[in-house]
Every structure is written in structure tokens, then in C-alpha cells.
């Protein structure tokens, strides 16, 4: 750690580098839904938001790997062995489902909302960063595509907006960070657009 202007600045070490490489390899062929944007851009953005919010190295690593279990089948034991129990617990807290076949969309979302309510500060920070980047992406894509955007998502327009509104209501309890305020403003903007 380094101290700059009386702030403790987390240093990112070899574990973070390993997570970057693993994230890149796991998600190399994946793109954002209905978009040519490489999925790794989302994961890098989430990690940046976590670090900018004061997150530590474990939280940044978890941000990079938050979809690895759900989307790429990374096993829990491999994740824990390489990055430790705390990173593993944060990733699990951000994971909607590893059950195959996946549960129906609404059921997965309800279970994830319930998990977030009792989650640790670290899980909530990574989840908040994930949702903030998603909503910012929705807003940018809505400007380009208009209502056609909603066809990409299992919940459609109404379900997607319901889910993000519910997520905000659970995440904002006792939360006053700048990231929370940004998420709230983006969800409100999304609601106004539609």
C-alpha cells in the first residue's frame, strides 16, 4: 500500500495480474449481448469502478472474475485455490446461477435480489459496479437502437427495468457512496427514457 494525500492507495500485485490473464482467457470469445463489444471491456470497467470506489485488491480481482463461474463454468475450487476464500466468496455472491440448465429468468433474478440484501460490503460493491456499468451501457445503446435494445434481454423492457429498480432499492439501504448515487441516477434516467 502507498499513502497519497493521506489516502491509502491499494497496490495491485501478482494475483491481480493472474486474474487479468485468467479473465482474458476465459472470456476471450465472448461479446456483450447483441453487440460486437468484447466482454472483457465490461469486466475491466467493473474492476475500475470497484477500485475508484475504494475497493481493495480482492474486490478488484472478484470484479474481473465476477461472471467466470456463471458464464464460463470456472469451478469454485479452482477459484479458491488461485485467489483465496475471500475472492471466491465475493464472486459467489455476485453469481446468479451455476445450475444447468438455468432456472427461468425471473426466478434467477429474485434469488439474486434476495442474496444481495444480506450480502457483505464487498459483494455489494462489486454488484453495484456491475449493475452501474450495465445500466450505463443500456443508456448508450438505447440512444443508438431505441426500443429495439430490449429484445436482447430475457426480461424484455419491463422485466429489465423492474430488476434494476429492485436492485437499486436493495443496494441503497445504508449506502451513500458516489457509485450508489450514479447507479440511482442512471436507473432513473433509464426509466425516463422508456
Q: Annotated active-site positions, please? A: 70-71
Q: How many CB atoms lie within 10 A of CB 81?
A: 10
DSSP the chain: -EEETTEEEPPP-HHHHHHHHHHHHHHTT-B-TTSSSBHHHHHHHHHHHHHHTT--HHHHHHHHTTTHHHHH---HHHHHHHH-HHHHHHHHHH-----SSPPPHHHHHHHHHHHHHT--HHHHHHHHHHHHHHHHHHHHHHHHHGGGGGGGSTTHHHHHHHHHHHHHHHHTTT---HHHHHHHHHHHHHHHH-
Q: Are 58 and 90 in contact (CB under 8 A)?
A: yes
**Residue 167 and residue 157: Cα distance in Å, rounded?**
15
Amino acid at each position: 500500500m502507498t499513502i497519497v494525500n493521506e489516502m491509502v492507495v491499494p497496490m495491485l500485485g501478482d494475483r491481480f495480474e493472474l486474474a487479468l490473464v485468467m479473465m482474458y482467457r476465459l472470456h476471450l470469445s465472448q461479446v456483450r449481448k447483441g453487440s460486437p463489444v468484447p466482454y472483457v471491456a465490461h469486466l475491466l470497467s467493473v474492476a475500475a469502478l470497484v477500485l475508484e470506489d475504494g475497493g481493495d485488491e480482492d474486490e478488484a480481482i472478484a470484479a474481473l472474475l465476477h461472471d467466470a463461474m456463471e458464464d464460463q463454468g470456472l469451478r469454485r475450487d479452482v477459484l479458491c485455490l488461485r485467489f483465496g476464500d475471500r475472492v471466491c466468496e465475493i464472486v459467489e455472491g455476485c453469481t446468479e446461477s451455476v445450475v444447468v440448465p438455468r432456472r427461468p429468468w425471473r426466478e434467477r433474478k429474485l434469488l439474486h435480489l434476495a442474496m444481495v440484501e444480506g450480502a457483505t460490503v464487498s459483494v455489494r460493491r462489486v454488484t453495484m459496479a456491475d449493475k452501474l456499468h450495465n445500466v450505463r451501457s443500456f443508456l448508450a445503446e438505447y440512444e443508438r437502437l431505441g426500443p429495439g435494445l430490449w429484445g436482447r434481454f430475457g426480461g424484455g423492457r419491463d422485466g429489465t427495468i423492474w430488476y434494476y429498480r429492485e436492485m437499486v432499492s436493495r443496494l441503497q439501504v445504508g449506502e451513500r457512496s458516489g457509485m450508489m448515487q450514479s447507479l440511482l441516477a442512471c436507473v432513473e434516467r433509464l426509466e425516463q427514457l422508456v
